[in-house]
Amino acid sequence: MDIKKILLVDDDYDLIEQNKLILESKGFEVVTAESAEEGFKKFQEELPDACVVDLIMEHHDSGFILSYKIKKTEHGKNIPVIILTSATYETGYKFSTATKEEQSWIKSDGLLNKPIVVEELIAKFESFTKKS
């Protein structure tokens, strides 16, 4: 599957703008959302070929929950959903506020560190396309 349209979800407007510019320079079409809620709405409207979701938005685990929600949809299960974060295992960040049920939802195609390195992102897309 060819990836053309990407949904970018992040509550930090600076990062949305940056990532949008970077991805557009690589020829992708980018749609954006500033919250998990808006992100899911945009996902349903736009049916993008890939999603890049910030981890910590309204909640510490909003990104996880949104990816899970996307992955559960008919369209979502066939596209890569990549979580972007500056909180990583190195910083010891624990998703302590996620309930057990929420944690069991947590599922995505990969975690990427901020800031986006566009080559890494494209590599993730490619490995997903190969798998499917």
132 binds another protein (CB under 8 A): no
Closer to another protein at the Cβ: 94 or 107? Answer: 94
29 lines the binding site for another protein (CB under 8 A): no
Residue closest to 26 by CA, chosen among 7, 5, 51, 45: 5
User: 23 or 50: whose CB is closer to another protein?
Assistant: 23
Figure out which of the listed residues 5, 60, 69, 71 binds another protein, where binding follows CB under 8 A.
60
The CA distance from 129 to 132, in Å, is 5
Q: Which of 74, 92, 101, 119 binds another protein (CB under 8 A)?
A: 92
d(CA 119, CA 94): 28
The span from the CA of 50 to the CA of 75, in Å, is 10
Least CB distance to another protein at residue 10 (A): 10
Tell me the C-alpha distance between 117 and 132, whole Å: 23
Q: Is 95 in the site for another protein (CB under 8 A)?
A: no
Residue 122 identity (one-letter amino acid)? I
Q: How far apart are CA 65 and CA 125, in angstroms?
A: 20
Residue nearer to another protein on the CB measure, 77 or 94: 94
Q: Which residues of the chain form contacts with another protein (CB under 8 A)? A: 12, 14-15, 18-19, 21-22, 25, 56, 58-60, 86-87, 91-94, 96-97, 114-116
